[in-house]
Amino acid sequence: MTEHSNEGDEPLESSSPSLSLSTFHDACQEAGRPVLTASELARALERPQRAVFDDLEALSASGDLKRLSVSRDPVVWFPSELEDLTDRERVVVFPKRREIIVDRPDQFTRAQLTQFANLEDTNGEGGYRYVVRPADVWQAPHDTFEALQRTIRQALSRTVPALESWIESQWRRAHQFRLTTHPEGYTVLEGESAEVMGNVARQKLDESHVHAPISDTEDWVREGAEAAIKRTLYEAGYPVQDDRDLASGDPLEFELQVSLRSYQETWVDRFLESGEGVYVGPPGSGKTIAAIATMERVGGETLVLVPSRDLARQWAETLVDADVTTLGPDDVGQYHGGQKEIRPVTIATYQIAGMDRHRSLFDDREWGLVVFDECQHVPSDVYRRSTHLQSRHRLGLSASPLREDDRAAEIFTLIGPPIGTDWEALFEAGFVAEPELEIRYVPWADDEHANAYGSADGRERYQLAAMNPEKVDEVRYLLAAHPDARALVFVDYLEQGRDIAAALDVPFLSGETPHTERQRLLEAFRHDELETLVLSRVGDEGIDLPSADLAIVASGLGGSRRQGTQRAGRTMRPAGGALVYVLATRGTREEDFARRQLQHLGRQGLTVREQTVDRDQDEEATDSDEVGGAGDLEE
């Protein structure tokens, strides 16, 4: 507000009439455009520019005008009511593609849209692209189609018959069958009509699933066959509504000491409505806390299954933390290779849970809730062994959107439907900091390596690109460019990990690192005693890594998209400001891998940058703060 302001205290032309909004309108009319600079207006009014500027400021202070700085051009002014027009959200629907493009949606619209559509893309300038997928409709939290229709109309501000009728057909599909509990305690499969019961259920299911028909539309379900029935009908295109009375198990009483954020409240409410579901949120978004809140509300003894011992320990620590719950150490047990305690809340690894001789884990107590952490990794033997827990509340946690996952069907039927959140909204609200992502295309260390790549094939080729020694220098360079950052360096190959660790004189944590040493390193990193840690694939999953300011993925691009999400997510902690660099050898398949992997994150609304490293310039730039200045740009 100061660049043109009147330095003196005296008004320059106290006697001249001050500018009114209608005079401004007249001048706009005259100029034939809705915005004016101060000098244009001064010319039109034949008044000194500074005086006009002061009047403009006054009108801006009273809210009648808005100012807009357009890069290096002079400030322009326009009537405030115009802003209402330009800011109003615009919704464009493509019914055939089931796509909804919204420009500047407000919070309400976004909340409505996430009830039946998935946010696929944002352009960073207020544009959002949603797609309505079948599963989004199946899991819509509405009791009737009419209620869902109201939400759709509110979100779109109009009726779009073609889209509505597709959604209706999906909704009806997902409401043809439901499982209920008979007053006598057994499970009943109920069809919407005798036709669908006869033509679908009774064709697809056999005596291993159901005992006998109870009526034209009802079958008596065999104990323990619920999961198989849900799976079979899901595959036939009819997701089953699971409306059974779920057992809450032996009571578990404690109080959560944390107040939930509103999106966490929504997750828990939606879970409690159906008794099953998967919280899908970026790492650090508070899924663990929401799961603990769910335990409190279900009020039953809980079995938590996790992919590793480190995570089991982490869960146990969180659960007995006096700032989080009122649970005492005797309430919480861990069950894995290290210790075997079955307590009101028991945390076990998938590995143990999948073993026959540890079956008692599932049966020793009346669990009311089973939590599947990182549920995209539930091994099939764990599913098999836990099918009888279908009558209990089942909660999955996942930091990867489930849509492209092969296991989506299994997760959907055996645990429950995803309970999602608009990730962008979490980033915007500052609950989870959005990392900056950059792919850096690194040249070959020398011709010898480039030639070796040229004449190799298959796996070897991939490995040569991954282990390009030039990446060691690139890691060194990036660390030097961020001298105060706590950094995690991820590698896929032990040899590379050792090379980088040796070159930088920092520890390397891999599957070979003894358990106690692993703990020691992680603790040191967590407490700032260690600035840099190199991690092999083992660092990806299972370990609850401390937050970092910087993550460098030196190799590992052949991995799944999920791995990419997780690695990026390591730094997505509420502290914020995290940076993720992914290194790819220039001119190799790695480039495509990196692009594809990060595109996925890009679709979640993150900004992905690409940078080609030019080694000669890099050397000079090592001491500079400005990493971006080091390379040749980009796309």
Ligand X SMILES: Nc1ncnc2c1ncn2[C@@H]1O[C@H](COP(=O)(O)OP(=O)(O)OP(=O)(O)O)[C@@H](O)[C@H]1O
Q: Is 289 in the site for ligand X (CB under 6 A)?
A: yes
Q: Structure tokens of 251?
A: 């009571």
Choose the stretch contacting ligand X; rule: CB under 6 A; options: 46-54, 277-285, 516-524, 603-611. 277-285
Choice between 574 and 629, CB closer to ligand X: 574
Q: Are 594 and 440 in contact (CB under 8 A)?
A: no
Q: Structure tokens of 611?
A: 């940078």
Choose the stretch contacting ligand X; rule: CB under 6 A; options: 18-26, 61-69, 151-159, 258-266. 258-266
Choice between 399 and 472, CB closer to ligand X: 399
Choice between 390 and 566, CB closer to ligand X: 566
Q: Are 39 and 74 in contact (CB under 8 A)?
A: yes
Choose the stretch contacting ligand X; rule: CB under 6 A; options: 208-216, 279-287, 410-418, 592-600. 279-287
The closest alpha carbon to 423, from 280, 522, 246, belongs to 280
Q: Is 286 in the site for ligand X (CB under 6 A)?
A: yes
Give Cα 314 distance to the centre of its chain. 21
Q: In the complex, what is the shortest distance from the CB of residue 457 to ligand X, in angstroms, rounded to a whole number? A: 38
Among 110, 231, 287, 392, binds ligand X (CB under 6 A): 287
Q: In the complex, what is the shortest distance from the CB of residue 322 to ligand X, in angstroms, rounded to a whole number? A: 13
Binding track, positions 573-592, relative to ligand X; x by CB under 6 A: -x------------------
Q: How many residues bind ligand X (CB under 6 A)?
A: 14
Q: In the complex, what is the shortest distance from the CB of residue 307 to ligand X, in angstroms, rounded to a whole number? A: 11
Q: Are strands 90-94 and 99-103 parallel, antiparallel or unpaired?
A: antiparallel
Residue whose pair of structure tokens reads 């010898």 in the numeric block:
448
The closest alpha carbon to 305, from 410, 385, 227, 418, belongs to 385
Strand partners, 609: 438
Among 288, 386, 468, 555, binds ligand X (CB under 6 A): 288
Strand partners, 611: 440
Among 261, 561, 589, 615, binds ligand X (CB under 6 A): 261
Q: How far apart are CA 604 and CA 598, in angstroms?
A: 10
Among 44, 82, 256, 258, binds ligand X (CB under 6 A): 258
- Say how many residues make up the chain: 635
Choice between 131 and 260, CB closer to ligand X: 260
Binding track, positions 393-432, relative to ligand X; x by CB under 6 A: ------x---------------------------------
Choose the stretch contacting ligand X; rule: CB under 6 A; options: 2-10, 110-118, 242-250, 259-267. 259-267
Q: Structure tokens of 613?
A: 């490293």
Q: How far apart are CA 510 and CA 550, in angstroms?
A: 19
Q: Is 294 in the site for ligand X (CB under 6 A)?
A: no
Choice between 104 and 261, CB closer to ligand X: 261
Q: In the complex, what is the shortest distance from the CB of residue 362 to ligand X, in angstroms, rounded to a whole number? A: 24
Residues 6+ apart with CB under 8 A from 465: 453, 584, 585, 588, 589, 590
Choose the stretch contacting ligand X; rule: CB under 6 A; options: 58-66, 287-295, 325-333, 605-613. 287-295
Q: Is 307 in the site for ligand X (CB under 6 A)?
A: no
Choose the stretch contacting ligand X; rule: CB under 6 A; options: 23-31, 260-268, 357-365, 550-558. 260-268
Q: Structure tokens of 258?
A: 């944390």
**Half-sphere exposure at residue 328, Cβ-oriented, CA atoms within 13 angstroms:** 1
Q: How far apart are CA 441 and CA 249, in angstroms?
A: 54
Q: Which amino acid belongs to residue 570?
A: R
Q: Are 472 and 503 in contact (CB under 8 A)?
A: yes
Choose the stretch contacting ligand X; rule: CB under 6 A; options: 186-194, 234-242, 280-288, 614-622. 280-288
Choose the stretch contacting ligand X; rule: CB under 6 A; options: 102-110, 257-265, 522-530, 582-590. 257-265
Choice between 11 and 574, CB closer to ligand X: 574
Q: Structure tokens of 428?
A: 């915007």
Q: Residue ranges of the alpha helices (H) in 511-572?
A: 515-526, 561-569
Q: How far apart are CA 417 and CA 163, in angstroms?
A: 22
Give Cα 159 distance to the centre of its chain. 30
Among 122, 176, 217, 285, binds ligand X (CB under 6 A): 285
Q: At what angle do helices 309-320 and 515-526 cross, to 10 degrees?
A: 50
Q: In the complex, what is the shortest distance from the CB of residue 110 to ligand X, in angstroms, rounded to a whole number? A: 20
Strand partners, 36: 77
Residues 6+ apart with CB under 8 A from 590: 462, 465, 466, 557, 584
Q: In the complex, what is the shortest distance from the CB of residue 259 to ligand X, in angstroms, rounded to a whole number? A: 6
Q: Is 302 in the site for ligand X (CB under 6 A)?
A: no
Choice between 286 and 564, CB closer to ligand X: 286
Among 275, 284, 556, 631, binds ligand X (CB under 6 A): 284
Longest dimension (CA), the chain: 97
Chain residues in the site for ligand X (CB under 6 A): 258, 260-261, 264, 281, 283-289, 399, 574
